[in-house]
Structure formats: C-alpha cells, structure tokens
Amino acid sequence: MALNLKVSSVGTRENRLGSITGYNGDLQDLVNRSRCGTLKNRERCFSQSSTCLSGCALNQLSGIRDVLVINHAPAGCSATAPGSIVLNHQLAAKIGVANDTVYVGTDMDERDTVFGATKTLRDIIKKTCEVYKPKAVFVGTSCVTGIIGEDVDSIVAELREEIDIPIAAVHCEGFKSRIWASGFDISDHAVLQTIVKQPKEKRNVINFKNFFESERKQITEIFAEFGVKTQFLYQNATVEELEHISESLATVCICGTLGTYLGNGLEQLYGVPYIRTINPLGVAGFETWLCEIGKTIGKSKEVEAYLERERAVYLPQIEEIKKDLKGLKAVIGMGPGYTYEVSRVLQELDMEVVWAAAWHYDGKYDNDQVPPALDYLQKTSPGNINLSVADQQNFEVLNILNEYQPDIYFSRHPGTTVWAIKQGVAALYVADEYMIFGYKGTLNFAKSILDTVRNRSFEKNLAKRVKLPYTDWWYQQNNGAFLKEAAE
Ligand code: SF4
C-alpha cells in the first residue's frame, strides 16, 4: 500500500493491512485465508480490557533524544508517561548519553471537553518549547480530542510558522483501532513526515528498528565486521540522526510488527531496501536474516565467514541441550511479531507447540504479503498448529492452558505470564526482544527453558494458595466460545 505523507492521520491496521483481533483455528487455515482474502475478524460478545495504541505511538517517540511529546488528553491517558521517562533515562545512561525528552499531558477536563482547548494546547506547546528548547515536537491526540473534533492539525500548522523546529500532529486517538501496534505506524508516520530529509548521499549505515536495544553492543560489533555502522531506532536516536535515515544502505528490524511501516516507507519513498525475511531468532532466523542483509549490502562472503565461525562455537551446544528439550509441550501468547517466530524456534529445539495465541494478526504487511514468519512456519512446520488471535484476552489463555496442560507457557507480556504461574503452569517471560537473538541467544533461551521446567516449586506453591476467578464452567467451554461468527 502506498504511503501518503500529505495526510497527518495514518490508516489503522484493520483498514490498511486487514488486521484482526478475533480468530480461532489453525496455521494452515489462517495462512490460506490470508492469501485468498477470505480472512475475517470475529467479534467477541465478551472481552477483557486491552491496551491503547497511543501508548505505543507516544512512548516510541519519547525514546528519541531531547524532543517534546505533548499528549493532548485527559490526565489518565498519560499514565504511561512517567514509566517511559524513567526508562528513557536509564537506557540513555546505559550508553553514556543523556535523553532530556520532556513528556507533557495537557490534562483536559470537563470544561475543555465542552468548549475545546486548542488555545491551551497552543500556549502549552509554546511555553514548553521556550523553557526546554526541544529539538522536535510531537503533539498526540486522544479519544476526547477525536470525539469533540479538536483541530490539532491547524494548531500544528500555525506553529510551524512560529517555531523553528519540526512539529508533528500524532493522531493516536485510542478508539480508532483495537490494535495497539497501529501506534507504531503512527509514530513512524510522524517521523517520516516531519523529521526524515531527502537523501543527499549514501551512508555506510544500516537502520536497525528495535525496542530497548539490549544487544546494541553485540549488534554494533557484528556489523562492524562487515564494515557497516548501525543506526538504532528510535531509542536514543537524535533528531539529527533521524534526518539521515533515508541515506542508509538498508533497514532491518527485530520485530516485523514494529518495523513494517518505517521499513516499507523508507523503501517506497527513498529506495532504502527493507530486509523482509524471518527475524534473527533461532538458528534459521539468524542465518536467513544475516545472509539477506549480506546480499543486500554486498557482503555475503564476510557474512558467511562470520556465521561459519559462530556456528562452530554454538551449534554443538544447542544440539546437546535439544536432547533434554525434545518433546516438551508449549503454549505461546505474544504479539504477532513474536508468536510465529518463537513457534519456529521451539520447533527447532524439538519442542511441540500445542497452541499459539497472537494478540493480533496482520493479514499482510505494508508490501501486501503475508508476514514472513507465518509464511515460513506454514512451509516448515512438521504439523499443523492450533492458533488463536486474542488482544490479550487472558481468560482465553487460561482456558487453553487448562485444557492442554503444557510443560511451559511463553509470553512477552508480564500480566499473562503471572496468571499462568498462578494456575500452576511453568512460564517464561520473553521480555527482552533480544532474548533469542542469534546463536548465543538461542542457546541461552534453551537453557532458560530447561531451568524453568525443572524448577517447579514456585508455581506449584503459588497455585495451591491462589484462588483464580475462573469457574469450572468456563474451563469446560471452548476457549473461543465468546467469538461470534463473522458476518458474510
Ligand atoms: S486515548 Fe482513549 S483509549 Fe487511549 S488512554 Fe486515552 S481514553 Fe483511553
């Protein structure tokens, strides 16, 4: 789908990518329906709360150093701001820089909801710019501003004439999409629209889109072997660095859900190739991903030499630990960027994925193709896999765990991991996006699985003392019992 930077609002994933939050079936069915265009969302007649896309949009932007993020919203919408700022400071300190980003909420109240608050917004932006001297300004919107029709675009357009730094409206009204990953696209749109400049010269740099860059050092060293520098996005990036990402050799990402809009956007607008393989998790993922990068930047020989050297160190150790993991049964509950990647890695480790739940599902990415991880899984999985799509509907996850009694549950979101443990299921929180990165990460991940399934006293003791709110009635239902058939 062609990107349109002339409009300030990005189409939601539901509209752009045919993304869904309700599905219950299996791998073959999901991929086949995606390919032939018959995949439809199924609504729930009961659902628990989920997450707002504005958090993804504004938190991503607040990771950029020394910018101003304004959330034009009631106070509650900015509840995630303190956490973001603490995290930004810690991640900046880790690499020896400072991030003086300021995150401000406009604290809209009842009066603002009736009469509007564009004057207040204007005053806050100008005053905050005067005091903090940011390098760019991002003005987020909210459900309230969307419902009352607050004209944030006009305020931003007027201020472009008055302040001499980039300023963008970030349309992240929570009600417009159930898929919080739409927030990633919204932040990318704001960066592409207002920060990134036309390329002047090619630079020996790879754009690396990730979350919290815990393996920044390792990745910088790997790419240095190929004579290439890395530009991590957005955490700790400066506005000046972002201006030049249109000049890079390629864009890669640690998670397809996170990277699709920026990667495809830079390719469409400036011809920067976007690496669209499976991600660098597990052995197949790491090799496929790195070889494709090597091909794209003309460094295949160097990549092959690096892989050969590393294989000799790690593959024998991975093969050894697989003997202990063989046959263990797993349930997964993660964002779609990881669900199908981790399923593949577990199969590499000779484990069996008995159910994989994704918090949403993108029927295609911004290049109109089925996400590579799912495509790869369909072609390589030794058998079909039960799949569901549920926007963190914990009651469905616990039903699945109760029915399948897996040896281990994997999630990337702490809330659901805790509930699995309370149910007595061994669970591993795959919090760090680099936990399974490359050969070394895969080996460490395999060891963590073994530790988790062998040390069971914590969840056994906790489960004995906790009374869960789920009744036997619910456990006897199909986990998708509240999904309604999609209307034809
Ligand atoms: S923008 Fe809407 S959904 Fe998001 S936190 Fe605010 S009120 Fe809630």
Q: Which residue has the tokens 């990549």?
A: 303
Which structure tokens are listed for 198? Answer: 């036309």
81 lines ligand 1 (CB under 6 A): no
52 lines ligand 1 (CB under 6 A): yes
What are 281-335's pLDDT values in tens digits?
999 999 999 999 999 999 999 999 999 999 999 999 999 999 999 999 999 999 9
Q: Whose CA is nearest to atom 5 of ligand 1?
A: 77
Q: Which residue has the tokens 């970030």?
A: 170
pLDDT score for 370: 84
What are 245-255's pLDDT values in tens digits?
999 999 999 99
Does domain 45-194 correspond to CATH entry 3.40.50.1980? Answer: yes
Q: Which SS3 state, helix, strand or coil, does residue 334 take?
A: strand
CATH of domain 315-476: 3.40.50.1980
Which of 77, 78, 113 has most ligand 1 atoms within 8 Å of its beta carbon, as the pocket-test mutant?
Answer: 77
Percent of the chain having pLDDT more than 70?
Answer: 99
Distance 234 CA to ligand 1 centre (A): 23
Q: DSSP states of 352-403 as a string?
A: EEEEEEES-B-SS-TTSS--HHHHHHHHH-SS--EEEEESS-HHHHHHHHHH
Any residues with CB less than 8 A from the CB of 479 and at least 6 apart, and which? 24, 388, 396, 399, 400, 403
* Fold topology of 205-300: Rossmann fold (3.40.50)
What are 353-391's pLDDT values in tens digits?
999 999 999 988 777 888 899 999 999 999 999 999 999
Residues 21/181, Cβ–Cβ less than 8 Å: no
Q: What is the residue-averaged pLDDT of the chain?
A: 95
**215-241 mean pLDDT:** 97
Distance 52 CA to ligand 1 centre (A): 6
pLDDT score for 50: 85
Q: Whose CA is nearest to atom 4 of ligand 1?
A: 174
Which structure tokens are listed for 476? Answer: 């006897």
Query: Domain extents for the chain?
Result: 45-194, 205-300, 315-476
Which ligand 1 atom is at minimum distance from the Cα of 143? 2
Indicate whether 35 pLDDT > 90.
no
Residue 199's closest CA among 269, 253, 263, 139? 269
**18-39 mean pLDDT:** 92
Indicate whether 488 pLDDT > 70.
no
**One fold for 45-194 and 205-300:** yes
Q: Whose CA is nearest to atom 7 of ligand 1?
A: 143
Cα Rg for the chain, rounded, in angstroms? 23
Q: Specify the pTM.
A: 0.95
The enclosing H or E element of 231 equals strand 229-233
142 lines ligand 1 (CB under 6 A): yes
